[in-house]
Amino acid sequence: MTGLTSHAADIRDAKRVQDVVQETNPEWVVLAAAYTDVDGCEGNPDLAFAVNRDGAVNVAVAAKKVGARLVFLSSDYVFDGKKTTPYEIEDARNPQSVYGRTKAEAEIRLLALMPECCIARTSWLFGIGGKCFPDTILKLAASRPALDVVNDQRGCPTYSVDLARAIVRLCRKDASGIVHVTNAGDCTWFEFARDIISGAGLATVVRPVSSQQMARPAPRPSYSVLSATRLRALGIEMPSWRDSLRRYLEERPKPIR
């Protein structure tokens, strides 16, 4: 397995991407690279489309040239959030943000270019070693007696370790088409924050607020729970987000006191 970073290739550079993919000569390419700052994308759509849509096409073209298969990481933000039951893979895309549009357009282009590619839509990622919601909540909780967290957006937190394991299994199963890959169960950001605080044994008070009270540049879907029907049909079960949060809290390096 070869892990490539942005230093190996900027995915906007088609030639460089082709060289790197050719040198690596993989059986599968997993494209996780993206411009993921959802609010940043809103103010910088040209960069967002150049990386998330056109960059993805560059990677797909390069993969196709060497006969490699592709897993593309997409997002729950391709949906508008108006449903109240889990989104199925057949549900229509209707992104509300620039970031969501870049991912939706990338999905369409990749499926046209490489119908056998696998589009793995995930959501609310957290993991060790990077900026993520649990890490931010724990850092804020260390210095504040109370935190306000939005309680009107519902989704599926997903531990990067579980996502990575599922992607490996998707490759081994030769999966193609759209698959939703998230931890099982759903919650609001407020409920997630409350469990993070209690799981870490902290006493910080978490208060529910509305998205309107915490206005941000990019709109977020109020409901973006992704159905695991297709994933289960492929024989893959994901752990619950509560179980994953427990493991994350155990595995996370503890601050030195």
Q: Establish if 10 lies at the interface with ligand NAP (CB under 6 A).
A: yes
How far apart CA 154 and CA 184 sit, in angstroms, is 13
How far apart CA 50 and CA 249 sit, in angstroms, is 36
Residue with tokens 């809103």: 42
How far are the Cα atoms of 166, 168, 170, 202 from residue 30, in angstroms, in the given order?
12, 9, 11, 37
Window contacting ligand NAP (CB under 6 A); options: 31-39, 86-94, 140-148, 245-253: 31-39
In 10 A of CB 251, how many CB atoms? 11
Q: Establish if 6 lies at the interface with ligand NAP (CB under 6 A).
A: yes
Among 18, 96, 123, 244, binds ligand NAP (CB under 6 A): 123
CB of 68 or CB of 73, closer to ligand NAP: 73
Q: Establish if 75 lies at the interface with ligand NAP (CB under 6 A).
A: yes
Q: What angle do CA 176, 121, 90 make, to 5 degrees?
A: 70
Residues carrying an active site annotation: 99
How far apart CA 115 and CA 109 sit, in angstroms, is 10
Shortest Cβ 240–ligand NAP spacing (Å): 17
Among 51, 178, 197, 238, binds ligand NAP (CB under 6 A): 51
Shortest Cβ 249–ligand NAP spacing (Å): 18
Q: Establish if 55 lies at the interface with ligand NAP (CB under 6 A).
A: yes
Q: Establish if 32 lies at the interface with ligand NAP (CB under 6 A).
A: yes
- 23 within 8 A of 68, measured Cβ to Cβ: no
How far apart CA 81 and CA 43 sit, in angstroms, is 21
Q: Establish if 42 lies at the interface with ligand NAP (CB under 6 A).
A: no
Q: Establish if 58 lies at the interface with ligand NAP (CB under 6 A).
A: no
> What is the contact surface with ligand NAP in residues (CB under 6 A)?
5-6, 10-12, 32-36, 51, 55, 73, 75, 122-125, 130
